[in-house]
A = this chain, B = another copy of it.
Amino acid sequence: MVTIKDVAREAGVSVATVSRVLNGSGPVSAQTGERIREVAGRLRYVPHGGARSLITRKTHTLGVLLPDLYGEFFSEVIRGMDDTAQRQGFHLLISRAHADKHGIETAMRAMRGRVDGVVAMSPDLDAESLLNVPSMLPVVVLCSAPRGDSADCLTIDNYAGSKAMVGHLISLGHKRIAIITGAARNYDAAERMRGYRSALRQAAIAADGALAVQGGFTESGGYAAALQLLAVTPRPTAIFAANDSMAIGALSALRESGVRVPEDMAIAGFDDIPLARYMDPPLSTVRVPTYELGARAVEILLHGIRNQNHHARHRERVSTELVVRRSCGAVPGRSPQR
């Protein structure tokens, strides 16, 4: 590996001069500047990021801690983060961690000295308290609302979105509305459940425990949950799945069971993944601005980094939007909303 010393020797100057030229700092004669640049290019010199960050105390890298990354949801969040970070000259160090105490701690340790700040996605309720690691490292907690104020946090307005969707189903005349819930002990899942309950209560509809089934946020979970709900008597007339993947699984289960959607059963999801509008029927859902979520998290983190973590803590919530398509029976037409 060619270092700054090699360049200095080859150009017949000191390393300080090379550094000055390559960073545009300090005065330097146009002539030596040109020569050094030529040599650096010829030798294919690339500064060693680790060494540089050791002395500048900046890595220009943001750590991203994720529980697990499958599904379109995560890749959209990452896109939003990366676009925003890159625009400000930052890179992403992405790490998946099992959302338990050990996993998060290990990941945070590994990031020490490699990142200027961390975006931690920990929807798992058990884990949130563990982020309260007193540290100078700015942290933005995504999709969870830890109690302390050691970190900024950014959440989705699951409650309002869920309540709006269930309220919409109620306004269509549904009284027996089932919910396929997400993973246990998950913040988003819990909040969506809370919105569901609240909407029912507001309409004076008694909650029926048999109408709430776990789906674990996966297609297969939604598939199984839908089959289970079809066996409940009296049968529900609408199913609200806490995310689109489960809604799509449910859709498939109903189709196989000969249950027509939306005529015999209304279906709604949550997230509005790109595929939702291409389903048959197109899926009514709650749009989560996924890309913006990632982008905003990075903005907040960069703010914390610039202020060396001495800023007033953010506590932000991005709002959702009701997207009514055909699967809930409100729209008679056949073309999907483009």
Residues of A within 8 A of B (CB): 1, 44, 46-54, 59-61, 68-72, 74-76, 78-79, 82-83, 86, 91-96, 108-114, 133-136, 219, 223, 245, 248-249, 251-252, 255-256, 274-275, 277-278, 280, 282, 334-336
Contacts and interface: CB of A to CB of B under 8 A. Distances in A.
A44 B277 CA distance: 50
Contacts of A82: 69, 94-96
Given A72-B75, A219-B278, A92 B93 contact: yes
Contacts of A277: 252
Contact of A49 (B70, B111, B336): B111
Nearest to A280: B280
A253 B209 CA distance: 40
B69 A252 contact: no
Contacts of A114: 49-50, 61, 114
Contacts of A52: 113
Nearest to A63: B91
Contacts of A136: 1
A92 B91 contact: no
Given A70-B76, A72-B72, A86-B96, A51 B223 contact: no
Contacts of A111: 49
B93 A93 contact: yes
A219 B274 contact: yes
Nearest to A249: B278
Contact of A252 (B48, B92, B245, B336): B336
A71 B71 CA distance: 8
B50 A113 contact: yes
A278 to B, nearest CB: 4
B96 A94 contact: no
